[in-house]
Chains A and B, each alone.
Chain A
Amino acid sequence: MNYEISLMTTMAISVLFALSLNLITDFCGQISLGHAAFLGIGAYLAAMLAKAGVPFLLTLPLAMLLAGAVGTVVGLTNLRVRADFLAITTMGMSFLFFGILLQREWLGGELGISGITGSNMSKLSYMLFTVFCTILVMTLCIYLRRSRMGRVFNGTALAGYSA
């Protein structure tokens, strides 16, 4: 049963990632080829904080904040470019992220971070937690789509294609 639980946990995390990508590509109609960098930024911060002894549940919002902050900066810079160049800059962001990481010894270099402090949850409850987060984000996406913001997103998509 252990294998199924790990598989489900990984799946839930992947679905979370896919949902976040969907916000950009489907809702807003913009290409993003560097999305993994933001997942990585969050993951690296959470891992570093956990190793430093910060409680698991506190590492999550901090990781989200940093990834969001970097995303805002990237987003503001990317406002200047469109279409093919937007795809290139987003891809560039991910290369830049890897490039910075791989050369930093204190971030584990090419081997990454090991010996990360666990969440203190059992495997099953950790799985349930990730599934819960996924459902939460899904609900947020559905709400977002129907909200005023969702219509703005749709408008962005339409304007992007007609441009």
Chain B
Amino acid sequence: MILPCVVEEAVNRQKTQSLLRISGIIGGEEFRTMPLLSRSGRRLSWQTMNIALNLIAASVIAVYQDTLAAIITLAVFLPMVSDMSGCSGNQAVAVSMRELSLGLVRPTELLWVLAKEARVGIVNGLFLGLVLGLIAYVWKGNAWLGLVVGQALAAGFKEAAPKFALDIVAEYEYALQDRQFGPLVAKVKADNPEVIYASGYYFTAGPLVSQLRTAGITTPVIGQEGYDSDTFMEIAGDAAEGTLLTTSPDRDSESPVIQAFIADFKKATGIGTDMVAASTYTVAYVLIDGFKKTGGKGGAALVLGVVEAYGTIYFGKLLDRNAIAFAFLILVLMVRPQGLFSRR
């Protein structure tokens, strides 16, 4: 025989535990009768972890104090770096806390969890560093990063060359700080190529092209990013005349010359030349890869983001941004309570 009071007690116990889990208080129930210090200690363990994580993030910044003092523009990126590190720390805490409260990990598995979170941190750090580096490049025009992009383009050129029946007769290397290309120019003269493809930013490209022309080499030079800047033309002077660029023309350009070039190029090769398409391809590729890794959640988040962005344009006067996103979310859940892309 089961007494009603026993059932009620069991129900209450179940409810209390669930509520504690929701509030992030773990390690069993917390009673009012518990000593003050043990109660505060249980809660402080999580809060102090947050302080420690933030301190680590701050100390990393402190290590680079001198660099920061030397390059003042870096200060612009400082809040971003500290925000991201803080967020990563909080994420790690939140995820670990959830796992602990759901019983997915035990406190004894501390080292394992720590190692796993560290690995996640390194991967995310590398990715965010790359993203921030690219932002810095676009925003502040960092020449060094331009060089990296240039080298990547050169590698791409080498890879694609056989497809277009191009023979690479010789390869030349120069260092970032090189401004005198005497030996290199002599080699080029000896090899006598039909065309020269040269990567590098304007501070190398300018002297290089100028010295090639001074040596009497009339071989066409194909450059890319860096060659399209005014500074290149200033440094190279008259020698800049006739240099070819591989930077894709902008399809939205109003210049009839560029539009005619795009049309002719497509007619001749069957391949569109389009800077926007190239960037979109990269973005789409990254997104698709992301979706593969996150399953339906990434796709759902993207759909929600698109609805929120476009919804704000058309319904911004009726509802604010958050409300539009949530209205769509609720609508989706009414139709598919199991989630937008869930197979269940």
Contact = CB atoms under 8 A, between A and B. Distances in A.
Given A88-B329, A89-B329, A158-B14, A96 B319 contact: yes
A89 B326 CA distance: 8
B18 interface: yes
B320 A98 contact: yes
A81 to B, nearest CB: 5
Nearest to A77: B334
Interface stretch (A23-31, A117-125, A131-139): A23-31
Interface string A97-116: 01110110000000000000
Contacts of A29: 15, 18
B1 interface: no
A25 B334 CA distance: 22
Contact of A80 (B22, B325, B326, B333): B333
Interface string B313-335: 00001111111111101100110
A11 interface: no
B319 A100 contact: yes
Contacts of A157: 11, 14-15
Contacts of B319: 96, 99-100, 103
A95 B326 contact: yes
B115 interface: no
Interface string A64-95: 00000000000001001110010011011101
B8 A154 contact: yes
Contacts of B322: 95, 98-99
Interface in A17-50: 25-26, 29, 31
B323 A98 contact: yes
A161 interface: yes
B326 A31 contact: no
A154 B12 CA distance: 9
B334 to A, nearest CB: 6
Given A95-B323, A99-B323, A81 B14 contact: no
Contacts of B321: 99
Contact of B330 (A25, A93, A98, A100): A93
A100 B319 CA distance: 5
B19 interface: yes
Nearest to B339: A85
A86 B79 CA distance: 36
B304 to A, nearest CB: 11
A81 B337 contact: yes
B333 A89 contact: yes
Nearest to A158: B11
B315 to A, nearest CB: 9
B333 A154 contact: no
A99 B11 contact: no
B334 A80 contact: yes
A81 B334 CA distance: 8
Contacts of B14: 157-158, 161
A81 B317 CA distance: 29
Nearest to A94: B326
A32 B18 CA distance: 14
B318 A103 contact: yes
A99 B320 contact: yes
A29 B339 CA distance: 22
Interface in B275-329: 317-327, 329
Interface in A132-163: 154, 157-158, 161
A99 B330 CA distance: 14
Interface string B140-168: 00000000000000000000000000000
Contacts of B325: 95
A144 to B, nearest CB: 15
Contacts of A102: 320
A99 B326 contact: yes
Contacts of B15: 26, 29, 157, 161
Contacts of B327: 92, 96, 99
14 contacts: A26-B15, A31-B22, A77-B330, A80-B333, A82-B337, A89-B329, A89-B333, A92-B329, A92-B330, A96-B326, A98-B320, A99-B324, A99-B327, A161-B14
A-B CB proximity, top 7 nearest: A99-B323, A92-B326, A95-B326, A99-B320, A99-B319, A80-B337, A95-B322
Given A85-B333, A95-B322, A99-B322, 15 more contacts: A25-B19, A80-B333, A82-B337, A85-B337, A89-B333, A96-B326, A96-B327, A98-B322, A98-B323, A99-B319, A99-B324, A103-B320, A157-B14, A157-B15, A158-B11
